[in-house]
Amino acid sequence: MKSSIGVVPVMVIAGIALAGFAIGKFSSTVEKPRAVRIAQPPVIAPSDGKESQSSPPVQPTIADSAPSDTVQLSLPEALAAGAPEVPVLVPDASPQSVVKNADRAVVTLDVTSKEGRSTGSGFLIKPLGTVVTNYHVVEGATQVRMTLYDGRSADVSGWLAIAPGKDLALLQVQLDGASTLEVSPDQPAKADPVFALGAPLGLAGTVANGIVSSIRSGKSLLPELDANAVWIQTTAPVSPGNSGGPLIDASGRVLAVNTMSRASGQNINFAISAEHIQELLTR
């Protein structure tokens, strides 16, 4: 259901801080395969010892002049060996490359409400023009402006779907030529490496790394949350302003949406599972 943007304090509930910010591929070297050369069949001289006019002179085989990294095979051997192996180029999946690509789809949200202005994070997914963020980031907003990594900006035109009990919102924006993130269909496992992207304290383009600490239900966190919602506990820091940003895996796929952290304790942060994004998309 779509509706127009109609407020976002920093909330601390039961010791858990919602992280809205109020304003006052492993790279791989592929070894080049050795070239496979097929030897010419030998030229047989006439048995009478006289040179035959019809027999061509013996020519050196291709392998005779081949470099040292070649293998000379007879035709039967070449057929048995099959076609030479073709090197497979592996895309760069280093953490630096993954984060650089993901950053292109992460946005900063400047939210205006009756209480004032605040900043949160979000990210673009397919279909293009869909922005994912936390519900508490845009709750009560009268205007929301989205800014991309390259400085382009656009006003959010309305809601596509909301799930307050899961603290999720899908927004609509008119934008061409932007990158999007893939939403992972899989749930992560404990100790999986993750990266939290967003704009903590309004600092756009920030990344923090960590691991998956646990998978939890909403009922184990806050009574206000959907009891059946799935939450990813992570050591990746979630600071004010990070809310709504993506928690991605080592391949750059979205595992969850950064949402909140526990005010007491260390490295206890929570992100709502990406499986609930899929639920909203199918409504």
What pLDDT does 93 receive?
A: 83
What pLDDT does 154 receive?
A: 96
> Which entry of 103, 118, 121, 167 is annotated as an active-site residue?
167
Q: Model confidence over 172-203: pLDDT tens digits?
A: 999 888 999 999 999 999 999 999 999 999 99
Alpha helices, DSSP H only, in the chain?
75-81, 95-103, 135-138, 275-281
| Residues near 24 by beta carbon (within 8 Å), at least 6 away in sequence | none
Is 276 in the active site? no
Domains and CATH numbers, the chain: 1-23+93-283 (2.40.10.120)
The C-alpha atoms of residue 65 and residue 145 are separated, in whole angstroms, by: 67
> Which entry of 103, 113, 118, 136 is annotated as an active-site residue?
136
Report which of 134, 268, 139 is spatially closest to residue 198, judged by C-alpha positions.
134
Strand intervals (E) in 218-264: 230-234, 246-248, 254-262
Is 243 in the active site? yes
What pLDDT does 109 receive?
A: 98
Place of tokens 């490295």: 267
Is 150 in the active site? no
> Which entry of 121, 184, 213, 243 is annotated as an active-site residue?
243
pLDDT tens across the length of the chain (283 residues):
555 565 333 333 445 566 655 543 323 323 333 333 333 444 434 444 444 454 454 444 434 444 444 445 454 554 455 545 544 444 568 999 999 999 999 999 999 999 999 999 999 999 999 999 999 999 999 999 999 999 999 999 999 999 999 999 999 999 888 999 999 999 999 999 999 999 999 999 999 999 999 999 999 998 889 999 999 999 999 999 999 999 999 999 999 999 999 988 889 999 999 999 999 998 8
Q: Model confidence over 54-80: pLDDT tens digits?
A: 445 444 443 444 444 444 545 455 445
